[in-house]
Structure 1
Amino acid sequence: MEEGEVLEEHLVAATFTVEDAINECGFGWFQVKATLFAGLVLTVASVIIFLLVIVSPEVRCEFSFSALEECFITTVAFCGMICGSPIWGSLSDKYGRKKSLILCMVALFLATLFSCFAKNYAYLLVSWGLIGLSVSGTPMATPFYSELLPAKHRPACFMFVHVFNAIGIFFEVGVAILFTHFKLKWKLKWYWLNGVATVVVGLSLLLFLLVPESPYYLLTSGKAAKATEVLAKVAKNNGKMLPVGRLVLQQDKNGGDDDDDDSDVEGNQLIAIKPRPEKVRRGTFRDLFATSQQTVTTVLLCVIWMCSTFGYFGIVLLTTEILDLFDVLHAENKSDGTLWPCGVDAADFRNVTLGGQCEMLTMNDYFQFLWTSAAELPGLLLTVFLAKVMGRKKLLAVEFIASGLPIFLLFICPLNKYLMMLIVFVVRSLITGALQAVYMYTPEVYPTAIRSLGVGFCNAVGRCGALISPFVAQVFIIRTVHGAEAVYGGMCILAGICAIFLPIETKNRELKDVLAPKTEEKRLIIN
């Protein structure tokens, strides 16, 4: 046999997966652009979600709402998120990551624009319900982003991209500070803040058109030629070459037909001229519980997501409540303003949380938002370091338990205000890192066919925790301050315990393509 024929047979036999191609191309300019894209989505999401925090007092004063009516606006927004998350996840798996994200941003743009013209309470409820429904699709950028990253760079990239959450908060608070400080003729009307958010969403939507579709989704959809084009773009952007051979599903890498007559060799690259368009079966909600291992994983992740979002939003709310209580105690001469005295009466908290006064946010409130948001950055850096030295399960367990235990230090009596702020800073850092580690683990553990659906479903359950959290931080705390603190500490520790029992470790594990190890689908070939 001649040397050329041997080379041709070798090239025909060689195969590689999408994961192989992404790892071979390494981290380069393409991943930088992908990071900016995913970061932009997270920035938009945080701008919209934090917009609700800022405009609520404005809306209450503008329309003379009660505290209960103000709270119900937040509830409607979170209900929209709960309903929308699994829907967007299913759309992302069935119709593509790019299409679903563009549709999400179009819906979000229209919803925020719609909210700018609210004239009554019913209009506000509808508009914020639509905003919640739309913004719930932004977490679908997480599985999309994970599919474009080399395995060894995934932890650091995931943590870095979530810095954009803080950027979104800083931007929204900065706009509010600008309106307040310079006393622009618009004053600080809530609809102007909505308008700024609408502009941000609209500008972001234009950039989304430049983003390619996920090669994982394309390959499992029978669009091997388009998957190849995306991978070729990755290689070109990074100055690398694709692996030699045929692109196959992960399950077919070491098996399947090798006697294809539809292939040809050109230089060092194999070109498949007539690819077969078979698709991998798309997953459904039932597939999240298809096997015992999948069921245990999904159930435990749901508990972890609920506990993490419950704890995250709870710490944010609890910080504000406790700091406000210090001010009230000082004003009523029950404290010097730096010590939390023993035996604080529940009525003191009633004055803070259930007051009927219309109170606009002040400059001090805005700078407090900035300070508490800055606490997230050390947590992200710590998570990047820990992700390199330990597995995902151990990382989740360590950070959740470590975030829960310090909360019980708030039981110290009397408690110095600055010690309390340090404790809260540490807890906020750790719970932020743990939450982002959950965002990293979830798309890694589910196969491509149900990756977005899994993230969407878990995110929806997590929003239930965020929905419940204010009732503990702002209502239950009236009856018992330490009881509310104990609930948050216990939920964080519960999430850590659940992480220990997760059946799958995803560190150094390839992203899976299909739902089961053996399927009837034939191998897909590069075009």
Structure 2
Amino acid sequence: MPCYYKNRQHGMALLPWTFGGLTLVISLLRFMFRMHETPKYLLGKRQDAKVVQVIEEIAAYNGKTTWLTLEHFQELDAQLEASGHSSTQETADQAIKRRKLDVLKPAKLKGLFNTPKIAYSTTLMILLWCMIGMAYPLYNSFIPIYLENKGLKSGSSSIDTTYRNYAIQAVCVIPASIIGSFTIDMRYMGRKGTGTIACICTGGFLFLYTQATTQSAVLGFSCAVAFFQNLVYGLLYSYTPELSPAPIRGTGDGLVALFIRLSGLMAPIIAAYVGLDTDAPIWISAALFVVAGFVFMLLPYETRGRASS
């Protein structure tokens, strides 16, 4: 069915309404689940009695008991006052501001490069995030266009077919994280092995995608790409914090997040330069994923079965 101008405008108007409606429903679902306030937040607000109450309720829900009582906090307050350090010297707001500013201290960043091995690990993780941060949007940001172009070549380029394939592809990502949660703890796989295989498979299926000439092949390869891409991202988000020392783990996550956003900005520039009517952006994306797979093999730490430090 052809998409007339009036219908197209109507569809574009419905899109934000749909997203807005889903967001509203999800936000309202928050009131259906009763959750306790975090003890850390309550402690920062000097609400010691509520801290004890929350801990007791959580313990009771899990069929346990806790040794923590309000007297413990009162005893600590008395010790602080006796030593000349009042527990009320710093307000909660002041403590929050101090913690926010602590992140900007050079010592935090230096800790990520403190030893040659840690520096090597941090550098490789930044490189991984940069490559994947560029490769991912090079393909995913323009999926409808690629699917439409493939449809033109194979004789089926309708809007319905394009977005049907897009929806099927989106469903295929769901099992990826579930399977990945098992492979990362397998003896001969671990984090590094899972990352290597997932990245190389993503690149391989992207290469095959460029050669697809039938609708079945286009759909099959795009689903495989979606599956392994989601596995790569799920692994990166869980593996990256494990490679940073615990006291500066947030700094490490923030550093790689900076580089992934910066590298992601290059994707539309590359796509605009080489053109979306060719397979060049997909070839570049595939090559980056394959190289990232080999970088995974070079990481010095395999955290499978090890406690955080």
Normalising by structure 2, report the TM-score.
0.68
Partner SS state of residue 184, structure 2: helix
1:383 has 2:144 as partner = no
1:83-94, aligned counterparts within 5 Å? none
- Who is 1:500 aligned against? 297
1:372 has 2:185 as partner = no
1:337 has 2:164 as partner = no
- Who is 2:88 aligned against? none
> For structure 1, which segment, 193-202 or 400-409, has the greater mean C-alpha deviation from structure 2 after superposition?
193-202
1:302 has 2:149 as partner = no
- Who is 1:144 aligned against? none
- Who is 1:196 aligned against? 21
- Who is 2:90 aligned against? none
- Who is 1:213 aligned against? 38
Return the offset for 1:371: 1.8
Give the letter aligned to residue 499 of structure 1: F
1:33-432, aligned counterparts within 5 Å? 180=11, 188=13, 192-193=17-18, 195-196=20-21, 199=24, 203=28, 210-213=35-38, 234-240=58-64, 273-274=75-76, 284-329=108-153, 337=155, 366-389=163-186, 390-410=189-209, 412=211, 415-432=213-230
Q: Whole-Å Cα distance in 2 between the matches of residues 211 and 474 of structure 1? A: 49
Q: Whole-Å Cα distance in 2 between the matches of residues 437 and 241 of structure 1? A: 35
Q: Whole-Å Cα distance in 2 between the matches of residues 300 and 387 of structure 1? A: 19
1:486 has 2:283 as partner = yes
Partner SS state of residue 117, structure 2: helix
- Who is 1:82 aligned against? none
1:455 has 2:279 as partner = no
Partner SS state of residue 76, structure 2: coil
Whether the aligned pair in 2 keeps the contact of 1:403 and 1:430 (CA below 8 Å) is yes
Return the offset for 1:218: 10
Whether the aligned pair in 2 keeps the contact of 1:372 and 1:425 (CA below 8 Å) is yes
Distance change (3 Å), C-alpha of 1:382 and 1:213: same
Return the offset for 1:274: 2.9
Q: Whole-Å Cα distance in 1 between the matches of residues 248 and 54 of structure 2? A: 21
Distance change (3 Å), C-alpha of 1:337 and 1:500: same
Computed over aligned residues only, the root mean square deviation of the Cα atoms, in angstroms, reads 4.2
Deviations along 1:398-425, one digit per CA (max 9) or x if unpaired, are 211222122222354x733321321121
- Who is 1:511 aligned against? 308
Partner SS state of residue 242, structure 2: helix
Partner SS state of residue 415, structure 1: coil
Return the offset for 1:230: 6.6
- Who is 1:469 aligned against? 267
Whether the aligned pair in 2 keeps the contact of 1:315 and 1:424 (CA below 8 Å) is no
Return the offset for 1:319: 3.5
Return the offset for 1:426: 0.8
Distance change (3 Å), C-alpha of 1:469 and 1:384: same
Deviations along 1:103-157, one digit per CA (max 9) or x if unpaired, are xxxxxxxxxxxxxxxxxxxxxxxxxxxxxxxxxxxxxxxxxxxxxxxxxxxxxxx
Q: Whole-Å Cα distance in 2 between the matches of residues 502 and 229 of structure 1? A: 44
Distance change (3 Å), C-alpha of 1:493 and 1:228: farther
Q: Whole-Å Cα distance in 2 between the matches of residues 416 and 458 of structure 1? A: 39
- Who is 2:91 aligned against? none
Return the offset for 1:378: 2.8
Normalising by structure 1, report the TM-score.
0.43
Whether the aligned pair in 2 keeps the contact of 1:321 and 1:474 (CA below 8 Å) is no
Partner SS state of residue 241, structure 2: helix
Return the offset for 1:200: 5.3
Q: Whole-Å Cα distance in 2 between the matches of residues 198 and 415 of structure 1? A: 38
Higher helix proportion, which one?
Answer: 2
Give the letter aligned to residue 203 of structure 2: G
Whether the aligned pair in 1 keeps the contact of 2:126 and 2:256 (CA below 8 Å) is yes
Give the letter aligned to residue 117 of structure 2: Q
Give the letter aligned to residue 62 of structure 2: N
Whether the aligned pair in 1 keeps the contact of 2:129 and 2:256 (CA below 8 Å) is yes
Whether the aligned pair in 2 keeps the contact of 1:317 and 1:473 (CA below 8 Å) is no
Return the offset for 1:440: 0.7
Q: Whole-Å Cα distance in 1 between the matches of residues 141 and 57 of structure 2? A: 45
Partner SS state of residue 326, structure 1: helix
Give the letter aligned to residue 457 of structure 1: L
Return the offset for 1:435: 0.6
Partner SS state of residue 388, structure 1: coil
Return the offset for 1:500: 1.7
Whether the aligned pair in 1 keeps the contact of 2:112 and 2:245 (CA below 8 Å) is no
Distance change (3 Å), C-alpha of 1:371 and 1:473: farther
Give the letter aligned to residue 274 of structure 1: L
Return the offset for 1:202: 5.3
Whether the aligned pair in 2 keeps the contact of 1:312 and 1:432 (CA below 8 Å) is no
Aligned positions, number:
272
Q: Whole-Å Cα distance in 2 between the matches of residues 420 and 426 of structure 1? A: 10
Whether the aligned pair in 1 keeps the contact of 2:151 and 2:215 (CA below 8 Å) is no
Q: Whole-Å Cα distance in 2 between the matches of residues 477 and 190 of structure 1? A: 27
Whether the aligned pair in 2 keeps the contact of 1:310 and 1:462 (CA below 8 Å) is yes
Q: Whole-Å Cα distance in 2 between the matches of residues 434 and 369 of structure 1? A: 19
Deviations along 1:137-187, one digit per CA (max 9) or x if unpaired, are xxxxxxxxxxxxxxxxxxxxxxxxxxxxxxxxxxxxxxxxxx85xxxxxx8
Return the offset for 1:233: 5.2
Return the offset for 1:475: 4.5
Partner SS state of residue 185, structure 2: helix
Return the offset for 1:288: 2.9
> Percent of aligned pairs with the same residue?
22
Whether the aligned pair in 1 keeps the contact of 2:246 and 2:308 (CA below 8 Å) is yes
Q: Whole-Å Cα distance in 1 between the matches of residues 13 and 203 of structure 2? A: 38
Q: Whole-Å Cα distance in 2 between the matches of residues 296 and 302 of structure 1? A: 10
Whether the aligned pair in 2 keeps the contact of 1:321 and 1:473 (CA below 8 Å) is no
